[in-house]
Structure 1
Amino acid sequence: MDCLTVDDVVSLRAASEPVRVGIATYTSSDSFKSQHCNKKPHSKSMIHQLSIEASNFGGSALKKTAKRHFKSRLIPLGIGRPIDEFYPWESFTLEESFTLPQSSHAGATRVELNSSVNTIAKRDGLFNLSSGLNYCHSVGQQPLLRFITEHVEIIHNPPYRDWSVCLTCGSTSAFEIVLRMFCNRGAAVFTEEYTYPGFISSTLLLGLHTVGIRMDDDGLITEELARTLRTWDDSKGSRPRFLYTIPSGQNPTGATQSPERKKAIYQIAEEYDLIIIEDDPYYFLRTKHSHQTVPNPDAIDSYISNLPPTFLSLDRSGRVVRLDSTSKILAPGLRAGWVTSSNEIIEKFISYQEVGPLSTSGPTQLMLWNLLDAKWGHRGFFTWLEHLSRQYRSRLDIVLESCDKYLPKDVCQWSRPHNGMFLWIHIAVEKHPELRSQGESVCDKSGVDFKTGEVEARVWSRACENGVQVTMGSLFEATKSCASRVSFRLTYAAADEIELDEGVKRFANAVRKEFGLEQFGTGLS
């Protein structure tokens, strides 16, 4: 096979090693990849990029003993893992809220399509409470890791053979580990000029600082990244060796990098030997216009084929560390995701996870395996993702229509995001009557514009007074600068759908009042 497809999974599993579920059973993605991976070249070593801390750290000696395999069962007198008779639960009963439409494809791996309720027993079944509620090897439980490994190969098909997956406790935990692996204290890290505040906070905690690269509607501007690398002033410290990017539905701007933009960024990474963190939680939330308005299980192949290439799918060297998350596509409280990179990088990641969060929560892994593999299968999972995209697309349409109705277009600018859950509203603060009369603005020593900062704060405060919550754009700045525009991030994911129009109206009235413009009447019936 040239690449793994959804319908190849049944035959792949039949030819693979059987899943072994036990207490903290060691496993790896190598057990679940297709033979096609063996035809590819090896990745390059990135060991020279490791931080001093990571270079000197080998993980838990105790955890490494779990990698040994024995032909017969050992009586477990050596490790402090309580037997399942001490668990106060006999079973879990799970009921899903999304019923899959019937499909004409015979290759789906889901079961019991006619039932939405499933019970996970203490000891019976492939993956049960006995193993799920005990300690787990940091890479993840075998049945779930198998599904995620297949998913990664179906979607990304990394161009080198020695790649692996490790389950995580969500992307925040994962990128904190990766930062420690590759960055020494005092180092600089490249990001988009606006980026996720959680990442900025993690860099500060680790004694790092971010260098924001200018963006346009397609995300990070390639020429700006190349220019910054080419003209880097060594008096500011060593040139950054690390790029953190959110390429799809970027948080907060909603920008999505085109395939051409990703290829150009990757070429720069190759030239300057950069490590790329591809944090991509919004990749599957496609909000571009679509003619399909109802679920169609037989159109899932089209959905998959129209997904754009990722940095992982372009990565020939093994310099990309891709982070996926269940937070935006299933539920944030699961605190789960997965990281994909070369075996060398994943082994080091596992070493850190062994002495930190240890592993993804056992009940979470049980829930994910039961839903994704036992109930839905790969085709069902993609059916859900396509359904979710349609829901977000519908909500975005409402918000965009409301923006057209209520926001003053000579003051506010926005564009339709192609992915994700955020709409980025630019406000031309230079058109504010107070600033027009007082002339040029003045920045303080930190680069914060007093006047634009005041306007941003007042609009935010007025919005809260109006009964709507939005997020100030300055909270996302990677590098503080004097800006002539104020920005706000709106999300169409959190409010009830019937509240979206009213929420935009209330925000628009906050802007209009600040700029001395006529306001609209408000009120939800």
Structure 2
Amino acid sequence: MLVSCLKLNGVRPLYSVIRKSSQKVEDILCLYGDETYDFKDRYRVLDEKDYSRFISQRSMKREPAITRSMTSLAYKIGKEMISLAEGMPNEQIFPFDRIEISTKTGGKILLEGDELDMSLQYLPSQGLPSLLSLLREFQQDVHRPPPLERDVLITNGSQHGIYQCVDLLVDPGDPVITTEFTFTGFNSALRPYDPEILAIPEDEDGLIPSLLEECLSQRSALGQRMPRLLYTIPTGNNPTGTVLPAHRRRQIYELACKYDFLIVEDDPYAFLNYTDTRPPSFLSMDQCGRVIRLDSVSKVVCAGLRGAWATLPAPLLHRAELHMQAELLHPCTLAQVILHRVLEARGSLAAHVERTRALCRQRRDALGAALAGARDLPQFARWDTPRAGLFYWLTLHDVPDAYDMAFRTALSHGLLVCPGQAFTFATRAPAPHVRLTFTRAPLAALRGAAERLRDVLRAESARPPRRLRATDG
């Protein structure tokens, strides 16, 4: 069922015994803007027919799976209907009688009886109805999106959402906008489509809108094929750690309206913004129906849960749901029930997010101090303190390509770092960068890690240039 303005559909929330507090997630995120936008007064609001020009030819060929439609009906019509339609197993064969999860703060998630049976059964492809209802409310509270026909789709992690967007919106050879260095998972999803990558440089504030506009203006003037998609990680770009300020987000959104492309806002680090400002999300300013937002709790709750969701304009959600039907029927039901419990207890989630952010900030600062304190290291590399996310991004002064350094010299010094090629589409091109993750290494080991990195760079800088050996991936 399509929902206008993310309104609740009245589904009863699941029972929860997670301890609550007065703090709310929306109070610590504040991803909505305080200003009034006028985009819809200057640009056309997309309607259902407009989206046909964005949808890939492959996606247009998908048809609804009749059996999946029957499953959706079964969740809507209630027990008074006798069903001989769905290909579901009988709950009596499920070997589990009770599932209990205890949290580190003393809370519990308990599943048993009918609720446990439901947690182990098939679902409609869009997701668990009660979780969808909760997420509609969550998105409304956190983003306050402008009134449009949009809804939520549960995904199996943000990477699944990325893959969905690529399948939905990209045809072979299409131009696609992204930052010069971006999440490797996006490039991996794109690679089979042989796209033309329009890689826009960043500065300390992220993607530079003036360079994006220059690129688009030149292509338009030359009659070149125009992009239909921009992919961005606005808060804590992986790997650079930048945070797009509010005025740049507004500029980029207006360029989307002016040059007719959609924005995929992948925001897994929204909870890990270490600055004092909370720029509004692209979703919060989307008056014209140009934003697909991907959310995840992988970085702040647990990665293995694969708890994530996409918020899309209704016509695009319909197409994405058809992909879901063909690809995996639906994400794990049990994981969705657990995600529901986590998000339902907003006070507990808010407190947990604050603790998580404090821990990550402490580790960020510790690695920063170790890098700055490693004698002579600044002679070999430059870096900025990441404003969000999990990574330091280093630019190497005397090492034009970091690939062999990462896989040879660094390993021989007992150090594992990620070379810059991992974050470019052209993985065979030289990249004088490395990404350092500050979340898992023991705090006591960070000083030694920085000193090893200095020794690696010193040794590598003394070597003659070596031929690039990067893989195709």
TM-score of the two chains, using structure 1 as the length reference: 0.75
- Residue 481 of structure 1, CA deviation: 9.1
Separation in structure 1 between the aligned mates of residue 337 and residue 139 of structure 2, nearest angstrom: 20
Q: 2:57 maps to which residue?
A: 52
Q: 1:92 maps to which residue?
A: 99
Separation in structure 1 between the aligned mates of residue 280 and residue 195 of structure 2, nearest angstrom: 30
Separation in structure 2 between the aligned mates of residue 191 and residue 368 of structure 1, nearest angstrom: 30
Instruction: State whether residues 307 and 339 of structure 2, in contact with CA within 8 Å, keep that contact through their aligned partners in structure 1.
Output: no
The reply to whether residue 409 of structure 1 matches residue 378 of structure 2 is yes
For residues 256-309 of structure 1, what are the alpha-carbon distances to aligned partners after superposition, in whole Å with 9 as ceiling and x for unaligned? 111111111111111001111111111110223x7xxxxxxxxxxxxxxx5320
The amino acid across from 2:437 in the alignment is T
Separation in structure 1 between the aligned mates of residue 417 and residue 223 of structure 2, nearest angstrom: 35
Find 1:70's aligned residue among 55, 74, 77: 77
SS at match of 1:149: helix
The reply to whether residue 164 of structure 1 matches residue 151 of structure 2 is yes
Separation in structure 2 between the aligned mates of residue 464 and residue 237 of structure 1, nearest angstrom: 45
The amino acid across from 1:58 in the alignment is E
Instruction: State whether residues 191 and 478 of structure 1, in contact with CA within 8 Å, keep that contact through their aligned partners in structure 2.
Output: no
- Residue 43 of structure 1, CA deviation: 5.4
Structure possessing the higher relative contact order (Cα contacts under 8 Å, 6 or more residues apart)? 2
The reply to whether residue 318 of structure 1 matches residue 289 of structure 2 is yes
Find 1:17's aligned residue among 2, 10, 13: 10
Separation in structure 2 between the aligned mates of residue 179 and residue 75 of structure 1, nearest angstrom: 40
Separation in structure 2 between the aligned mates of residue 121 and residue 481 of structure 1, nearest angstrom: 53
Instruction: State whether residues 43 and 160 of structure 1, in contact with CA within 8 Å, keep that contact through their aligned partners in structure 2.
Output: no
Aligned residues between the structures: 424
Find 1:362's aligned residue among 300, 322, 333: 333
Q: Identity, % of aligned pairs? A: 26
- Residue 235 of structure 1, CA deviation: 8.7
Q: 2:26 maps to which residue?
A: none
Separation in structure 2 between the aligned mates of residue 496 and residue 362 of structure 1, nearest angstrom: 35
Find 1:134's aligned residue among 121, 126, 141: 121
- Residue 206 of structure 1, CA deviation: 3.1
Separation in structure 2 between the aligned mates of residue 391 and residue 164 of structure 1, nearest angstrom: 33
Q: 1:470 maps to which residue?
A: 417
The reply to whether residue 152 of structure 1 matches residue 139 of structure 2 is yes
Aligned 1:205-216 pairs, distance under 5 A: 205-216=192-203
The reply to whether residue 348 of structure 1 matches residue 355 of structure 2 is no
Of stretches 238-247 and 389-398 in structure 1, the one that deviates more from structure 2 is: 238-247
- Residue 473 of structure 1, CA deviation: 0.7
Find 1:382's aligned residue among 321, 326, 350: 350
Separation in structure 2 between the aligned mates of residue 326 and residue 20 of structure 1, nearest angstrom: 20
Instruction: State whether residues 100 and 110 of structure 2, in contact with CA within 8 Å, keep that contact through their aligned partners in structure 1.
Output: yes
Q: 2:19 maps to which residue?
A: none
- Residue 146 of structure 1, CA deviation: 2.5
Aligned 1:458-497 pairs, distance under 5 A: 458=405, 460-479=407-426, 486-497=432-443
Instruction: State whether residues 71 and 123 of structure 2, in contact with CA within 8 Å, keep that contact through their aligned partners in structure 1.
Output: no
Unaligned runs of 5+ in 2: 1-6, 15-37, 464-473
Separation in structure 2 between the aligned mates of residue 20 and residue 400 of structure 1, nearest angstrom: 43
The reply to whether residue 420 of structure 1 matches residue 389 of structure 2 is yes
Instruction: State whether residues 20 and 142 of structure 1, in contact with CA within 8 Å, keep that contact through their aligned partners in structure 2.
Output: no
Q: 1:507 maps to which residue?
A: 453
The reply to whether residue 257 of structure 1 matches residue 264 of structure 2 is no
Distance 1:210 1:122, change over 3 A: farther
The amino acid across from 1:92 in the alignment is I
Separation in structure 2 between the aligned mates of residue 393 and residue 207 of structure 1, nearest angstrom: 38
Of stretches 390-399 and 363-372 in structure 1, the one that deviates more from structure 2 is: 363-372
- Residue 116 of structure 1, CA deviation: 2.4
For residues 231-253 of structure 1, what are the alpha-carbon distances to aligned partners after superposition, in whole Å with 9 as ceiling and x for unaligned? 12899962211111111111111
Separation in structure 1 between the aligned mates of residue 116 and residue 224 of structure 2, nearest angstrom: 51
Indicate the structure (1 or 2) with the bigger Cα radius of gyration: 1
Q: 1:439 maps to which residue?
A: none
TM-score of the two chains, using structure 2 as the length reference: 0.83
| RMSD value, Cα | 2.6
The reply to whether residue 61 of structure 1 matches residue 78 of structure 2 is no
SS at match of 2:364: helix
Q: 1:121 maps to which residue?
A: 112
